[in-house]
């Protein structure tokens, strides 16, 4: 299977995990779309570019880089949610890199 397709699937899976609580809380659709597209981007970047040799850390770094501009908006809109968002980002960032490493062998 094509690497780009797999990376989009992995990013989409992470995005779905991230947006389910957002849908339950009935957040604005643009926030949901923003979060989902961030994870698809992280999936593509972490599969195809390497900053560090450890795949999970590589993915986490891309998640941090992509989330950095969004973090200011999240903090401004809901400071209490920032901790939950950061924890979710770290967990999904590590998993987004760990899963492709398992697939690739």
Q: By the 8 A CB rule, do 82 and 71 touch?
A: yes
* Closest C-alpha to 71, from 91, 85, 88: 85
pLDDT for the residue numbered 26: 94
Provide mean pLDDT across the span 25-48.
Answer: 93
Q: Where are the alpha helices (DSSP H) in the chain?
A: 3-24, 29-48, 55-77, 81-104
Res 1 pLDDT > 70: no
pLDDT for the residue numbered 66: 94
Higher pLDDT, 88 or 102: 88
In which band, very low, low, confident or very high, does the pLDDT at 92 lie, cut at 50, 70 and 90? very high
């Amino acid at each position: 299977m094509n690497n780009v397709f797999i990376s989009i699937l992995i990013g989409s899976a992470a995005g779905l995990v991230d947006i389910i609580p957002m849908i339950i809380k009935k957040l604005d659709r643009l926030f949901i779309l923003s979060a989902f597209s961030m994870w698809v981007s992280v999936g593509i970047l972490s599969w195809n570019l390497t900053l560090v040799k450890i795949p999970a850390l590589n993915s986490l770094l891309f998640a941090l880089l992509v989330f950095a501009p969004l973090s200011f908006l999240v903090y401004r809109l809901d400071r209490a949610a920032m901790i939950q968002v950061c924890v979710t980002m770290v967990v999904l960032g590590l998993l987004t890199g760990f899963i492709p490493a398992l697939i690739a062998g």
